[in-house]
Every structure is written in structure tokens, then in C-alpha cells.
Structure 1
Amino acid sequence: MALAPLTPQTSRAYVDVHVIQTVPPANMNRDDQGNPKDAMYGGVRRSRVSSQAWKRATRMHFAGNKPEEDHATRTRGVAAALTEKLGALPGVPDEESAARLATSLLAPLGIKAGKKAGDTAYLFFYGQRQLDRLAALIADRIPELLALSDKKREAAVDELGVQEIFRTEHPLEVALFGRMVADLASLRVDAATQVAHALSTHAVDLEFDYFTAVDDETEKKNETGAGMIGNIGFNSATLYRYATVGLHQLKHNLAAGRESGAAWPATVAGVREFVTSFARSVPSGYGNSFAHRTLPSLVAVVVRTDQPVNLVSAFEDPVRLEGESIAATSAKRLANEHAKVTEQWGEPASFQAVVHAFDEKPALRVEDAFGPGQSFPELLAGLEAHLDREFSGESA
């Protein structure tokens, strides 16, 4: 399949990630009744895993592979976190003093207080390095600031540029997933990533596991009866997962406050980290009960310069088990849909690559649509090389 030519004038690019993944009996993302989430699609009930659940799983995968100082945190308790950090500074005599300093430092942000003492009214998403920079602002002025009244201290802190710290040098998670602060537009960060709700490619039925837990001490006495009984809803499914990264938006978010030229390497590295973590992560709900972690049967990455394209329409007609596995049929359906979209809309990808675990007929169709099968490290290396080769001129 021919790939679209690129020009130095290209201003937008989207990295689409398509995943086919089969999970065994699981309840990784439950609804308000405690059962696996679902949705109607194509006239039948499908298994569903919310975008929020998979975004958090992706973020947790980031955290497991990065040093703590590079982590991001989303919490109502930013004041408590800052209090703890300030309490470790020389010159801060006690926790009460640290709390007073933290309150003054956060005042310029204008974030509304929550109902619980020390909490904000909503979750605030920030990087650990941003909190470190905030503490460094007053590290050499602690005795002076503590000697002031609360009102005068807040006035002094207001001149230090606190808001600028949270507008610049965003950690990767904030740059990717954005930050929404309802009443403070100046602190908002537009997300570079969109993640779809994962849907099963086929119809599913909700099932229940009735379980009993034995009381070990009762068993020793040869007494009968369970120490606990209950049931857990579950289903099993082959899921289609989709996400897209706006390369231009990610670069814009990472450029804020960084030295000229530093944003582009961070952008390419960020895309690699996202693709890796999105592909390898799994929501952990009821993980001890079901041990449902699997790896995808297929990961396809497509770089487009027109718009992101979710290929879920390949599965509007639900896949049925007829001769081939559901995963294999789903992979062929996905390949056909990608080829059809390219042909009908005349917007070929600038890059496409695929990792898959299929043999013979499914493999032929998948590779005809997405290119030769390769290992995941090879896919990542090829994606990085393509982005550097075709888009590095836009990094300035």
C-alpha cells in the first residue's frame, strides 16, 4: 500500500494506535452494580472498558518505569503533598509552619478549597518536579516568610510567579492527558491524547461467579459452612482498543518552559512511552480474583496527517466464531476496514507498522494492510525514526 508523501509544511500529525486483545474471564472495570461495564453497539451487548480506566492503567504503567521525580499526581490533596515537601526543608520548624507556607504558596493559583480541610474542590494534576520547583521558590526565604502575617505572606508569594510553574515544564502525563481546572482557564492544559472506550468485537453475556471462602479455624474443628459467600459478575472478550496522540499538541504542551529544541526529543520519547504503556497496560480491577493480564494479539500504529481515525466500524456487525478464532477474524476485519478507509477517502498513512501473533490467512491480510509483521521493539524504533525523519524540521 502506498504511503502519503510528506512536506516540510505539514503542521499536524496523529499517531493512531489500534489494538486487538483477548482477555479471559475478568471484571477489570465495574459499573455501579459491581458488574463489568458494557454497551450496546451494532444491536448487541458488548463488553466495555472505559477510557478513564485504560488511561489510568497507562499512567500507572508510566509510573512503574520512571523515577519518582518524573511522576505526575492527580489529587485533591496537593496542599498536603506540598506541606510534606516543605516540612523537609531546613528552617521549617514544624508541620503547622509548613502548612501555613503551603497555603500561601497555593493561594495565587486561585483553586477553590474543598469541603475537607486541606483539600481542593477538585482533583489537581501536577508533576513532582513542579512541586519541587515550587518549594525551591522559598527555600532561602523561610524565616522571613514565616515572620509575616498570612495576608502579607500571600502578597509576597504572589510576586514569585507560582502560576508560571504550573504552566510550564509539564510532566509527560499532564502533556498527554491534559488538565481541566473548571474555573481557572490559565491552568488548563489541552490533552494531546484521546482514548476510546474499549469494546468487544463480538456479543457478550454477563456471567456470575458464586464463591465461598473457608474459615480456616472452623475447618480445623471439622465444622461445616462457609465463612463468607458472595458473587462477582464477569465476562470474557476480545477487545478492540484505540487511542490517538496529536503530535503537534504534545510538542506544544512539552515546549512550555523548556529550552528551545528540547521539546522535540521529549515529544518523540513521549510518543514511544505512550504507545508502549497503552499496549502493555491492563486495568487492575479484581486482578487477584481473575489474573486477567494478557498481551495484545495485534498492535498497529498508523501516522496520519489528515485526522485521527477510529476503526471500530469494522465491528458494527459483531464477529462470530466460524472456523477461525474471534481474535483472528477481528484482526482481518480491522485490516479490511483500514484498507477501505484509505481507498475511499484517499488519505494514505505516512507510516504504518504492525505487531501480531497470527498465522497464515489472518497474517496475510493483516500484513497486506499494515505492512510486514515485526517485533514490538522494531515497531517502536521504526516509529521513532519516522517521526524524526519526517517531522523534526517542525521542532523549532
Structure 2
Amino acid sequence: MTRPLYIDVHILQNVPPSNLNRDDAGSPKHAQFGGARRARVSSQAWKRATRLTYAGGLPEADQATRTKKVAALLTERLQEREELGQEDAARLATALLGPLGITMSRTKSEETSYLLFFGRRQLDAIADLIGGEARELLSKEDKDLADSVAKLEIEAELMRSHPDEVALFGRMVANRPEINVDAAVQVAHALSTHPVHSEFDYYTAVDDENTKAQTGAGMIGTIEFNSATLYRYATVGLHQLHANLGDSDANAEDTAAAAERFIEAFAKSMPTGHQNSFAHRTLPFAMVVALRADQPVNLISAFEQPIHGTNGLASASAARLAAEARTTSETWGSAPLKTLACYPTLDEKTNKQLGEAFGTSVPFPKLTAQVRAAALSWLANGALS
């Protein structure tokens, strides 16, 4: 396997009034940190937003899907490829999924009992294993059909040629660890750098067909919201990503490109909770990418003491992040091999701090291109150029 290289991504992002990720009561998620209540966006919410943004730039055939409807999707492919009726295709699809230990739901007969994450091309490859023998297989009794299908390399197809999304985010199947894929990406829960108090938006909707004699709202309600400067963190294990994509010199370019696209997708993605109500689409205020050969380092400790202020919080958060990065490197002897950053022009003192900690700011497209070049160099030489 390639020597370990971790690509740490640190983002500060201002988010206006919003409810990005709500709990079971409809309230924005929060957490206690450093003795203060913070706004929180779960890692699951931002991973899904990142994955959808990432997939949006790929041809559909190269995308992955996470679904309980794998049997239905496989049935559709068998109907098309083998010219089968729906009932015969469904029987054959169920048999093909049997060796994977995938059982159907007891409550919804058309769904499997758990979500499975796989590539669309992988499902096509499983369907292609039939090779025109569908009708011969269907002529057999269930036991003989299962025995025949068990000889096909179904599990192998699910473990080869992983799409980028599966290679990045991994796959976990509790009762079939043989088809698990170790994730190359870890994403932290986003936390505000400062204390947060929720507010409520009281809204009304007017019935357009009311006459002058009909007064009052057609509907009333409330939405809880907050606003925050968030610290976001993710890390990519380049070596694990390379292994998941094949671990060969031939796929070094694909691995580097996937790492670059992940950084772009993570930076530009946004969870969609109540998006139509708040239009909370923002881009990061500042971003730092640190390439490390020792271990990933989350710099959330920069904000264990919450930031307070009435004249903006992002600039102070950036200065605090720079100080924490330098302290961590000096105290623990754990400096990154290379640091790249993209941040705005701020006051002279803050920009000096950021420059000393992270180097000169570069435009985002140049930053991602430099990450890709560094990844290629590492995969080729085990060192950064």
C-alpha cells in the first residue's frame, strides 16, 4: 500500500439564519463545547451533501447509490438485458442477491432489509454475469437456481471497480464484513466557533382566494433557526483512497483527481434543510488544507474557549485557527508537510498571522490543483514535490 498521507481540510464558513440540520423536534442541532451551547451540523448531513455535490459532476453510469431498492434496480436491468417479464426478472434478481446475504424486508417486500451502497456499474456487472443464460436458470427449482447462481463471482463484482463515492465514503454491511469497504474520508460534526442562541420565525400564509370579507391567515407556524460561523473539518486518507480504487500505478491519476474533487465538493456543498425558507447558500470564508504523513489533526481546540464579539466573528475565528495550528505544530512536533490556504484580505495583523501559519493565500481553483499535484507526487515518489 502507498505510504500514508492525510489531507486535512479546515473550513470557516458564515451561515446566515437557517436550520440546516434539524433534530427530532425540528430544532437546529446543537452541542455543548467548551461550556457553551454551539450550533452543530452532523457529519452525516454534510457527508451526504458532499456526496451529492461530488456525484453531480459525474456521468450517471459512474455514480453510486445507497438504497434498499437494489433488488428493484437489478430487476430492471435483467428485464432490459435478458428480455424477461417483471416476475421472472424479480425471481432471478433475488437469487443473484442471495450469495451476498442480502435479505428482503419483512414489511416491504420490494425492499431489502438494509441500505446497500454500491456503484451503478457494479450492479450492471452483476446483471451481466447471467450472460444470456437467464431462461435456463429460471427453468430450475429454487434450490438448484440458488446453487447455480452461487458459482458466479457476484461478491467479486461488488468488490472491484469501486466508484469514487464508495472509495471515498466506504461501505459497511454488519452481517457481511467481506463486502465492507474502509472509508478514505472522515468528516467531523461542524460546530460554531461561538455561543449560539436559537430564535423563532413566526410565519403566516395568506389564502389567495380570500375575499375582502374573509380575514386572517390561511396557515400559521414557526421555524426555529440560528446563524453561525462554523468550523468544518474533514480528512482524506490518500493511501486508503488509492487502495480502494485499485492501488496501482495506473490509477494514481484517478486517485489524485478524486481527492481534488472531494475537496471542491466538501467546500461548496451545503445541507438543504429548510433551504427554500432561508436560502442559506454560502461559500467558505476561509479554507486551509494541510498534508500530513503522521496523523490527521482536527483543530477544533482553537474554539474550546468560545469567541465573543459584536463586530463580526469570522476574522477572529481565522486568527484563532492560525494560532492553534502553530501551537499544535510547535508543542507536539507535528507540523504538516505542506499547507495550502485560501482566505480573504483582512486587517494587517490578522493577515500576518494567517500568512505565518498557512502561507500566502491562493485562489481556490489553484489550491485544489496544487493538492492534486501533491497527491500525484506522493503516489509516484512517496514524497511531496
The residue number in structure 2 matching 1:4 is: none
Q: Report the Cα offset of residue 221 of structure 1.
A: 4.5
State whether residues 16 and 242 of structure 1, in contact with CA within 8 Å, keep that contact through their aligned partners in structure 2.
Answer: yes
Q: Report the Cα offset of residue 155 of structure 1.
A: 1.3
Query: What is the DSSP-based 3-state SS (H/G/I as helix, E as strand, rest coil) of the residue aligned with 2:249?
Result: coil
The residue number in structure 1 matching 2:60 is: 68
Query: Is 1:336 aligned to residue 310 of structure 2?
Result: no
State whether residues 249 and 380 of structure 2, in contact with CA within 8 Å, keep that contact through their aligned partners in structure 1.
Answer: no
Q: In the aligned structure 1, how far is the partner of 2:146 from the partner of 2:38?
A: 53
The residue number in structure 2 matching 1:348 is: 335
Q: In the aligned structure 1, how far is the partner of 2:80 from the partner of 2:63?
A: 19
The residue number in structure 2 matching 1:136 is: 128
Q: In the aligned structure 2, how far is the partner of 1:222 from the partner of 1:168?
A: 68
Query: Is 1:206 aligned to residue 198 of structure 2?
Result: yes
Q: In the aligned structure 2, how far is the partner of 1:139 from the partner of 1:233?
A: 55
Q: Report the Cα offset of residue 367 of structure 1.
A: 1.8
Q: What amino acid does structure 2 have at the position aligned with 1:184?
A: R
Q: Report the Cα offset of residue 54 of structure 1.
A: 0.1
Q: In the aligned structure 2, how far is the partner of 1:80 from the partner of 1:154?
A: 18
Q: Report the Cα offset of residue 91 of structure 1.
A: 2.8
The alignment's TM-score, normalised by the length of structure 2, stands at 0.96
Q: In the aligned structure 2, how far is the partner of 1:112 from the partner of 1:393?
A: 45
Q: In the aligned structure 2, how far is the partner of 1:167 from the partner of 1:104?
A: 19
The residue number in structure 1 matching 2:96 is: 105
The residue number in structure 2 matching 1:236 is: 227
State whether residues 11 and 231 of structure 2, in contact with CA within 8 Å, keep that contact through their aligned partners in structure 1.
Answer: yes
Q: In the aligned structure 1, how far is the partner of 2:91 from the partner of 2:103?
A: 17
Q: What amino acid does structure 2 have at the position aligned with 1:128?
A: R
State whether residues 206 and 235 of structure 1, in contact with CA within 8 Å, keep that contact through their aligned partners in structure 2.
Answer: yes
Deviation sequence 1:250-276 (CA, Å, 0-9, x none): 1111117xxx42332221111111101
Q: Report the Cα offset of residue 287 of structure 1.
A: 0.3
Q: What amino acid does structure 1 have at the position aligned with 2:343?
A: H
Query: Which runs of structure 1 show a deviation greater than 4 angstroms over 4 or more consecutive aligned residues?
Result: none
Q: In the aligned structure 2, how far is the partner of 1:273 from the partner of 1:66?
A: 10
The residue number in structure 2 matching 1:6 is: none
The residue number in structure 1 matching 2:44 is: 52
Coordinate RMSD, CA, aligned? 1.6
Task: Point out where structure 2 has 5 or more consecutive residues left out of the alignment.
Answer: none
Pairing of 1:1-396 with structure 2 (within 5 A) = 11-92=3-84, 94-115=85-106, 116-218=108-210, 220-255=211-246, 260-321=248-309, 325-360=312-347, 361-393=349-381
Q: Report the Cα offset of residue 245 of structure 1.
A: 0.7
What is the total number of aligned residue pairs between the two structures? Answer: 381
Q: What amino acid does structure 2 have at the position aligned with 1:352?
A: T
The farther-off stretch of 362-371 and 15-24 is 362-371
Q: In the aligned structure 1, how far is the partner of 2:77 from the partner of 2:165?
A: 21
Q: What amino acid does structure 2 have at the position aligned with 1:224?
A: T
Q: Report the Cα offset of residue 363 of structure 1.
A: 2.2
Query: What is the DSSP-based 3-state SS (H/G/I as helix, E as strand, rest coil) of the residue aligned with 1:29?
Result: coil
Q: In the aligned structure 2, how far is the partner of 1:140 from the partner of 1:89?
A: 8
Q: Percent of pairs identical after alignment? A: 52
The farther-off stretch of 381-390 and 20-29 is 381-390
Deviation sequence 1:157-180 (CA, Å, 0-9, x none): 111110001111111111111111
Task: Point out where structure 1 has 5 or more consecutive residues left out of the alignment.
Answer: 1-8
Query: What is the DSSP-based 3-state SS (H/G/I as helix, E as strand, rest coil) of the residue aligned with 2:201?
Result: strand
State whether residues 214 and 227 of structure 1, in contact with CA within 8 Å, keep that contact through their aligned partners in structure 2.
Answer: yes
Query: What is the DSSP-based 3-state SS (H/G/I as helix, E as strand, rest coil) of the residue aligned with 2:226?
Result: strand
Q: What amino acid does structure 2 have at the position aligned with 1:388?
A: L
Q: In the aligned structure 2, how far is the partner of 1:390 from the partner of 1:252?
A: 14
The alignment's TM-score, normalised by the length of structure 1, stands at 0.93
Q: In the aligned structure 1, how far is the partner of 2:78 from the partner of 2:220?
A: 48
Query: What is the DSSP-based 3-state SS (H/G/I as helix, E as strand, rest coil) of the residue aligned with 1:217?
Result: coil
Q: In the aligned structure 1, how far is the partner of 2:141 from the partner of 2:252?
A: 45
Q: What amino acid does structure 2 have at the position aligned with 1:343?
A: E
Q: Report the Cα offset of residue 10 of structure 1.
A: 7.7
State whether residues 91 and 142 of structure 1, in contact with CA within 8 Å, keep that contact through their aligned partners in structure 2.
Answer: no
Q: In the aligned structure 2, how far is the partner of 1:149 from the partner of 1:221?
A: 72
State whether residues 10 and 305 of structure 1, in contact with CA within 8 Å, keep that contact through their aligned partners in structure 2.
Answer: no
State whether residues 178 and 191 of structure 1, in contact with CA within 8 Å, keep that contact through their aligned partners in structure 2.
Answer: yes
